[in-house]
Chain A
């Protein structure tokens, strides 16, 4: 009798694992849209781009010093003005493979937007700690060799900024 129960245990566990996997899959897809803070942070008077920019800063440079966060925002705005990139903030941010956080979806999952919002407002108001950077990357991670050929401006925190 005891044996029989043990035999049932294996399929029961299997079914439970499968079932929960499916459930998790379901819930995660639902959550994606629900987790988006619609209008988090203070309403600042510099346009609707603020949400977009703040979320990118949070995803790309959430752990960076404030100065580095402003600089990431400034890179996006410098790109908007450059002939090498799209001419809108959304175009620049959602350009395929332009930002890792868009590719891996982190940009839609960030929660701590307090500093990024302030950094985005400063960038939109004209502050650019790099004076013209178009690229940034983490020198401690593998990146394409091509990017190192750009003239480097400076390093802030864990990001190198370049023309």
Chain B
């Protein structure tokens, strides 16, 4: 009797296990198919966008009308950017695509730059035409390589979902020990070859964010001799006591070789165990680059105006005398205020610093002057050719003008331009419109977005 029961129970258990296994398997296959579909979608999108971008560049080269050229360059700009986006989502763990990505981003950026140039009424130089031909040729090469891969994707010798396999560590070791069989053509060779070919691409310099000349940017605002670590540590203590009263003690110092080489120090306030302050002092010149106090800020007792006064006092104490508050935003229980340098009646936006003020006791919990020291230098600011009235007349007549002032703004490619900054209101939305103070061209439009405790510009 009981043997029968045992047999039945065991068979049921076996059936259940098998059923469960099948169910799990079908789940896994469904998921693998979804991953496969996403991978194929990204791959075919990339191939398509690269083909289209090459065609668009070809069209703009063949066209003789600046209007048509601008249209095709704009298309190529978007298509190259879309190809970049698809490529970055392709799951290829063992294939590096750094050069290909850089090429696509630069290509997109360069097309945008040329389109904008045409939109301003300028024409392309012979050199720019040549660059475009070269980029288009490279694009053609990528298309040929990817078509090779495509045939392998189509006959299913390349499965994107297969890259998501997890192999247990011991098996991995065995696999790595095994001598590889004569390698067949890898389905991903198309990507590998492209990557190799783009390695030796000449540098591309133009007025855009991905231009090669920007990579070598160094801090222009720092001068003087390098300070020693001991000097930096002394300076850090001084800066800390200016930010807030406390009995600070150095905990550790770290060497940092980023775009601004610094000594980074952690200091603790012996009166308050929770207050740890991180201070970055530049090696060159010993300037305070950044400061962050980690403590949690309690319920606010100060308002934004009081916070601004505290921030201004701190600026004066470390030698920043001509700074104008520009934006202010409440972040947690802190007020983060951005200041820009002021020269005469011109606001210098590239030279900006940020000050974070704790709204519970008014101490300075943050400082960031990286932008300031990267951009600050002796400038020859030209006299504006336009009067404020002439600049006002250039603004969209559908807006109501609130205020106007002179501002030096950064442009893509590391350039700067003197503009009239005009605050204009349209259908309850506020905008900042920048009009070139020499030519009257509209350079840029920003929208001001109200957020709790401040404003953001986008």
Contact of B280 among A42, A91, A129, A133 (CB under 8 A): A129
Closest B residue to A5 by beta carbon equals B2
B45 to chain A, nearest CB (A): 14
User: Per-residue CB proximity of A55-71 to B under 8 Å, as 1/0?
Assistant: 00000000001110010
Closest B residue to A22 by beta carbon equals B20
Which of A85, A87, A131, A152 has most chain B Cβ within 10 Å? A131
Contact A132 B259 (CB under 8 A): yes
Q: A67-B266, A84-B102, A121-B331 are in contact. Are A43 and B9 (CB under 8 A)?
A: no
Residues on A with beta carbons closer than 8 Å to the beta carbon of B93:
96-97
Assess whether B10 is interfacial by the CB under 8 Å rule. Answer: yes
Q: A14-B13, A95-B89, A121-B331 are in contact. Are A7 and B2 (CB under 8 A)?
A: yes
B289 to chain A, nearest CB (A): 8
Q: A84-B98, A125-B336, A126-B368 are in contact. Are A153 and B266 (CB under 8 A)?
A: no
Contact A155 B85 (CB under 8 A): no
Residues on B with beta carbons closer than 8 Å to the beta carbon of A66:
276, 278, 292, 294
Contact B332 A42 (CB under 8 A): yes
B window 359-406: CB within 8 A of A: 366, 368, 370-371
Residues on B with beta carbons closer than 8 Å to the beta carbon of A95:
88-89
B5 to chain A, nearest CB (A): 6
Contact of A96 among B91, B329, B354, B368 (CB under 8 A): B91
Task: State in angstroms the CA–CA spacing of A163 and B98 once bound together.
Answer: 13
Task: State in angstroms the CA–CA spacing of A147 and B265 once bound together.
Answer: 27
Q: A125-B336, A153-B256 are in contact. Are A91 and B101 (CB under 8 A)?
A: no
Task: State in angstroms the CA–CA spacing of A97 and B94 once bound together.
Answer: 10
Contact A67 B292 (CB under 8 A): yes
Instruction: Choose, from B125-133, B241-249, B447-455, the stretch at the interface.
Output: B447-455
Residues on A with beta carbons closer than 8 Å to the beta carbon of B194:
none
Q: A15-B16, A155-B254 are in contact. Are A4 and B9 (CB under 8 A)?
A: no
Residues on B with beta carbons closer than 8 Å to the beta carbon of A70:
292
Task: State in angstroms the CA–CA spacing of A161 and B290 once bound together.
Answer: 18
User: Per-residue CB proximity of A79-92 to B under 8 Å, as 1/0?
Assistant: 00101111100010
User: Per-residue CB proximity of A119-163 to B under 8 Å, as 1/0?
Assistant: 001100111111111000000000000100001111110000101
Closest A residue to B334 by beta carbon equals A121
Task: State in angstroms the CA–CA spacing of A47 and B85 once bound together.
Answer: 22
Contact of B91 among A5, A7, A10, A97 (CB under 8 A): A97
Assess whether B1 is interfacial by the CB under 8 Å rule. Answer: yes
Task: State in angstroms the CA–CA spacing of A18 and B356 once bound together.
Answer: 57
Task: State in angstroms the CA–CA spacing of A152 and B254 once bound together.
Answer: 13
Contact of A125 among B258, B260, B294, B356 (CB under 8 A): B356
Task: State in angstroms the CA–CA spacing of A95 and B332 once bound together.
Answer: 29
Residues on B with beta carbons closer than 8 Å to the beta carbon of A127:
290, 292, 366, 368
Contact A125 B354 (CB under 8 A): yes
Task: State in angstroms the CA–CA spacing of A96 and B164 once bound together.
Answer: 10
Contact of A156 among B85, B254, B329 (CB under 8 A): B254
Residues on A with beta carbons closer than 8 Å to the beta carbon of B368:
125-127
Assess whether A44 is interfacial by the CB under 8 Å rule. Answer: yes
Residues on B with beta carbons closer than 8 Å to the beta carbon of A5:
2
Assess whether B330 is interfacial by the CB under 8 Å rule. Answer: yes
A162 to chain B, nearest CB (A): 10
Task: State in angstroms the CA–CA spacing of A46 and B210 once bound together.
Answer: 25
B window 90-128: CB within 8 A of A: 90-93, 96, 98, 101-102, 105-106, 109
What are 22 A-B interface contacts by the 8 Å CB criterion? A4-B2, A8-B5, A10-B6, A11-B13, A14-B13, A45-B452, A46-B451, A67-B266, A67-B292, A83-B105, A84-B105, A87-B85, A91-B88, A96-B91, A117-B332, A118-B296, A121-B332, A128-B258, A129-B278, A132-B258, A146-B96, A153-B256
Which chain A residues have a beta carbon within 8 Å of chain B's beta carbons?
4-5, 7-8, 10-12, 14-15, 18-19, 21-22, 25, 42-47, 65-67, 70, 81, 83-87, 91, 94-97, 117-118, 121-122, 125-133, 146, 151-156, 161, 163
